[in-house]
Structure 1
């Protein structure tokens, strides 16, 4: 049985780094920093009533699969998705995106394919690709290697901010379906699968939740109390909405309800279920906490969105309780 740590990724060490640098980071803050390191996106005051919501991310070693298969026109969607979905968790409207491409040797065809994906993602997010940087770095990257990073900015009125502070005991947790693995856990994925068909399945682009959330927020903003992007650390992201609660999941989607790549990984890697839920999104790409599940689910049904009513919140200490599987994540 292999674990994420066995593949070379130590999530706990990453968390320790964040904790260790918080004081240094906060020493740079001025009065207009509304919310800094720790959330899905940072918040910066631009007027008395409006905030910028900003986030940055990459695609991780999913890039290796794109490079191995020579498929470069979708990985840019992942880049935009990883940044935009974080910004969306504050209730913000996306405004703009910037990208950074580093490579060993600039290949025009590959680079244009990468930009095609980024443009696709920006169009899905209704934000402007307003700038970027390309760095050719021979001797640092191999000639056929590249890396990507992105930076997204959105805006939200203070009165419309979603920060999880209004979550109460007994609120409902709704999970929106993912398109697949999205862009996390790939160091483990690459240890397990090698067949081309499986790799192509793993390359499925990350779902961007802008349009569905835009519609929900237009009609139900006051009833959407928390949003969580399920990325690295899997279901543990749910508790980032509000640390004063446990999140009791009594309707975990079954393997037959989610993309087949998850069951393939479990079987070929002999993966422990707990390890999977704290590494992958397990078919749930974004969660919503609401006090009006009836109308939220009615809207999701109208849009044709796949979702699950996962469970409820209860007073606690950030635990994710998966009752179906007798698993507790914390």
Structure 2
């Protein structure tokens, strides 16, 4: 089993679900609704000058491996970094965070470890963990199953909003390195691991938090777009922040991949599948004017080109 589809996850179906829900969601828009459905974070206008940015996500099936390895602190950190990174793609500063833990049978130690991991990331980012919910759902979850969901809300001034609309042909694509697989593709990873032993250090490295890196980058450069490279990899996420008619040509040899990608290679996961599912070692991309690229200590991994569709690896 070497593909996401074989492991039971259909990226195409996920896109179809979003499209099917679009009409219902868009029918609820009010005067404060801003932007199109489908960004890394949803936007809502507080007033003429400020916007709220909000997102929600789950650690997903990485939790199963984390629980087996006794690494739930890291899984808690995963969801914090994932949601805060999403919010910061808009230029927002994270304000507060809420979490939701669900299990067939709640274990106090497990819940404590998850929330402590989340809290550690919230402290790093300057984001208040203001509350949450726990649910014990026997019959819905098997006894060994666990889910951890997070929601983050941030605030951005309208004149500081980053939405990709100012991106231009020739802009540099900067690649911020990932720590590993982050929180995506774990249904396939679990299938590859099976019931046997595995290297927890290699497979469960926590999702990298980019809060400080993004703040530094914005102080140094004119950041025109930010893409958090999550499910769907670079081809599925970079185009989400680019204007129509603009694509990205990336040099796949311009960055070093973490060792976990050699682990995937050794188990027969093709380069095409890795590009489609995983982050390939790039956890966030920033689009800046070419003349600004030298100011940042972040490698240039590509350029934006007019007339290019999506992402092309050169």
TM bucket by the smaller chain?
over 0.9
CA distance 1:216–1:231, change in 2 (3 Å): same
The offset of 1:292, in angstroms, is: 4.6
Contact 1:229 1:285 (C-alpha < 8 Å) held by counterparts: yes
1:308 matched to 2:295? The reply is: no
- Structure 2 residue aligned with 1:217: 218
Say which of 270, 277, 280 aligns to 1:279: 277
Return 5+ residue gaps in structure 1 as ranges: 301-306, 324-330
CA distance 1:170–1:5, change in 2 (3 Å): same
Say which of 304, 307, 311 aligns to 1:320: 311
Q: What is the distance in 2 between the residues matched to 1:198 and 1:94?
A: 33
Counterparts of 1:249-268 in structure 2, within 5 Å, are 249-253=250-254, 257-268=256-267
Contact 1:99 1:151 (C-alpha < 8 Å) held by counterparts: yes
Contact 1:253 1:283 (C-alpha < 8 Å) held by counterparts: no
- Structure 1 residue aligned with 2:232: 233
CA distance 1:98–1:286, change in 2 (3 Å): same
The offset of 1:81, in angstroms, is: 1.3
Q: What SS does the corresponding residue of 1:170 show, helix, strand or coil?
A: coil
Q: What is the distance in 2 between the residues matched to 1:156 and 1:86?
A: 13
The offset of 1:192, in angstroms, is: 1.6
Q: TM-score, length-normalised on structure 1?
A: 0.90
1:18 matched to 2:18? The reply is: yes
Q: What is the distance in 2 between the residues matched to 1:190 and 1:95?
A: 34
Q: Please tell me the root mean square deviation across aligned C-alpha atoms, in Å.
A: 1.6
What whole-Å deviation, never above 9, does each CA across 1:8-50 have from its counterpart, x for those lacking one? 1100111011112111110001011012421111100001110
- Structure 2 residue aligned with 1:202: 203
Contact 2:220 2:295 (C-alpha < 8 Å) held by counterparts: no
Q: TM-score, length-normalised on structure 2?
A: 0.94
Contact 2:59 2:149 (C-alpha < 8 Å) held by counterparts: yes
The offset of 1:140, in angstroms, is: 1.9
Contact 1:51 1:156 (C-alpha < 8 Å) held by counterparts: yes
Contact 1:251 1:308 (C-alpha < 8 Å) held by counterparts: no
- Structure 1 residue aligned with 2:289: 291
What whole-Å deviation, never above 9, does each CA across 1:221-275 have from its counterpart, x for those lacking one? xx11110000000012111111421201125346xx221111111111x122111
Return 5+ residue gaps in structure 2 as ranges: none
Counterparts of 1:125-136 in structure 2, within 5 Å, are 125-136=125-136
Counterparts of 1:105-184 in structure 2, within 5 Å, are 105-184=105-184
Counterparts of 1:75-94 in structure 2, within 5 Å, are 75-94=75-94
